Amino acid sequence: KSTIRLILGDQLNCQHSWFSSVRDDVVYVLIELRQETDYVLHHAQKIIAIFAAMRDFAERLRQQGHRVHYMRIDDADNRQAFPENLDYLLAHYDAAAFGWQAPDEWRLDQQLRDYAARLPLPSEMSDTEHFYAGRDEAATIFGQRKQWVMEHFYRHMRVRHGVMVGPTGAPAGGRWNFDHDNRESWNGMPWEPADTRPHHDHSALWDTIQRAGVRSFGEPHADAFRWPLNRDEALEQLDQFVQNALPHFGRFQDAMSYKAWRLFHSLLSFAMNTKMLDPRTVVERVEAAWRDGHVPIAAAEGYIRQILGWREYVRGVYWHRMPGYDTLNAFDHQTPLPHWFWNGQTQMRCVASAIGQSLEHAHSHHINRLMVIGNFSLLAGLSPQELHQWYLGIYIDAFEWVELPNTLGMSQYADGGLLATKPYVSSAAYIDRMSDYCKGCHYDKKQRVGERACPFNALYWDFFNRNRDKLEGNHRLGMVYQQLRRMTPEQHAAIAEQSVLLRNRLDKL
């Protein structure tokens, strides 16, 4: 009799204790299925990357002597949903037990728990052995506090895991946070490092996916595919990042450019979120680069904060607030996404560039996601639920536990301020300061009203005006409301009028 152990597409952790010994009585199961390709419309590269990495993972397990049952999307006996496929496999192998690793998505967590509870066999859920913190750790740290602050969680994690701290628990360099050193725009120098990620030809897989009828959007680039397939490739990518980009990461962390979509970012989120690369390896490598004098402390600390801080923190928010977090809509924003979310064809150069990169590469870096696409969406009053579906589909690294708190919480403030202490919005001035987008844009960054006025400007002031009751009491927004109070009634009327015009023709902007 055998045990069936299910491995999900984002559980490609070859260092998991499951694989430390080869057992004849264990069959590892990986399944490509429509249930997972279709719950949202995905970018083509995301589907290809996950299937290709799953296939590679299965092959490596086989080479190590493990028994593997791999179901392809077009296999005739594939029932295309987990319960039906697992029923079939448990019967096929006359299984005596079922095992699975804790899913990171609430939806799958529920489905597999329900499934296991109905089984007449013993079953066991194992940890994924990936994250620093348990699902509930952030909630335990914050206790009954109403407002969660990432910085508090992050410092706790630094000390608990001994990352960039001295023997007494004091932060390396005497400060916890070097954010103030990390606010430069980029003028083309230093050069964006070369893209050294491997090339793969996944044309055959892409044909299979299409023939199976899976719908998608975005550029597949199947014959010149650049996302890593496995841990070895991810480690190589990490090495290249630490060597060439990390020294500049901190300074240009918030910079944006239409000329350079990667800038000095690591592009490691796909490898980490599929668990082919574990966060400890990344954090240790980055800390070592700083200790060896290869990178400045601001770069190392800034990068580590993203992983040990933000990544673990948003996961804590997700598990604390699910189910139900995905339905929050604090501003009651209901406007559907304009059509250019699907083709990038808007005259707003910043948005066209950020969405264009996303369609081309299934990736865009954090500030484009937050301060261009998310910023515009919040100012324009787009539905956070529709936006969540879009973010979940388009990005190669999008899995609900990390995407949802970022989109609904950080970017849209739809949770009323649990995750972000104030809405991340700006007028054209911020975008102009941090990017090269505004020069050459159809719109005028300086104008607030008129046909060529940058849409961000009027929408920015209108957003604060119309949400006065919800936001005026926030002490971090004191300056904004002070400026609004200084405006004349005519200025207020012009902003309101311009905003109505803009919001009535979002599709044409």
Query: Which of ligand FAD, ligand SF4, none does residue 304 bind (CB under 5 to 8 Å by kind)?
Result: none
Which of ligand SF4, ligand FAD, none is residue 367 near (CB under 5 to 8 Å by kind)? Answer: none
The listed partner (ligand SF4, ligand FAD, none) that binds 502, CB under 5 to 8 Å by sort, is none
CB closer to ligand SF4 out of 266 and 426: 426
Smallest distance, Å, CB 107 to ligand FAD?
A: 15
Chain residues in the site for ligand SF4 (CB under 6 A): 348-350, 428, 431-432, 437-438, 441, 443, 445, 454, 456
CB 14 within 8 A of CB 59: no
Q: Cα separation of 445 and 456, whole Å?
A: 8
Q: What share of the chain is helix, strand, coil (3-state, %, to 5)?
A: 50, 5, 40
Q: Do the beta carbons of residue 229 and residue 270 sit within 8 Å?
A: no
Residue 407 interacts, among ligand SF4, ligand FAD, none and using kind-specific CB cut-offs from 5 to 8 Å, with ligand FAD
Taking a C-beta distance cutoff of 8 angstroms, is the pair 453, 498 a contact?
A: yes
- Tell me the closest approach of the beta carbon of residue 459 to ligand SF4, in angstroms: 10
Rg over CA atoms, the chain: 24
Residue whose structure tokens are 């620093």: 132
Helices 489-504 and 455-466: angle between axes, nearest 10 degrees? 110
- Cβ closest to ligand FAD, residue 55 vs residue 366: 366
Judged by beta carbon distances under 5 to 8 A according to partner kind, the member of ligand FAD, ligand SF4, none in contact with residue 398 is ligand FAD
The interface partner of residue 369, options being ligand FAD, ligand SF4, none and the CB cut-off 5 to 8 Å by kind, is ligand FAD
Residue 430 C-beta: closest distance to ligand FAD, Å = 15
Q: Strand pairing of 26-31 and 3-6?
A: parallel
Task: Give me the least distance between CB of 424 and ligand SF4, in Å please.
Answer: 15
For residue 252, give the amino acid letter: F
> Residue 226 contacts by C-beta under 8 Å, 6 or more apart in sequence?
195, 197, 198, 199, 200, 361
CB-nearer residue toward ligand SF4: 278 or 432: 432
Residue whose C-alpha is closest to residue 2's, from 29, 20, 21: 29
314 contacts which partner out of ligand SF4, ligand FAD, none, CB within 5 to 8 A by kind?
A: ligand FAD
CA dist 428 → 227, 257, 432, 444, 458 (Å):
33, 15, 6, 9, 10
Confirm if 396 and 45 have CB atoms less than 8 A apart. yes
**HEC secondary structure over 66-96:** CEEEEECCCCCCCCCCHHHHHHHHHHHCCCC
Minimum distance between the CB of residue 492 and ligand FAD, rounded to whole angstroms?
A: 30
Residue number, 30 or 283, with CB nearest to ligand FAD: 283
CB closer to ligand FAD, 272 vs 506: 272
Q: How many residues does the chain have?
A: 509
Q: Which is nearer to ligand FAD, 365 or 448 (CB)?
A: 365
Closest distance of CB 367 from ligand FAD, Å: 8
Residues in touch with ligand FAD (CB under 6 A) = 265-269, 272-273, 306-307, 310-311, 314, 365-366, 369-370, 374, 391, 395, 397-398, 402-403, 406-407, 410-411
The nearer residue to ligand SF4, 86 or 354, going by C-beta atoms, is 354
d(CA 271, CA 236): 11
Chosen from ligand SF4, ligand FAD, none, partner binding at 311 (C-beta under 5 to 8 Å by type) = ligand FAD
> For ligand FAD, which is the closer residue by CB, 78 or 274?
274
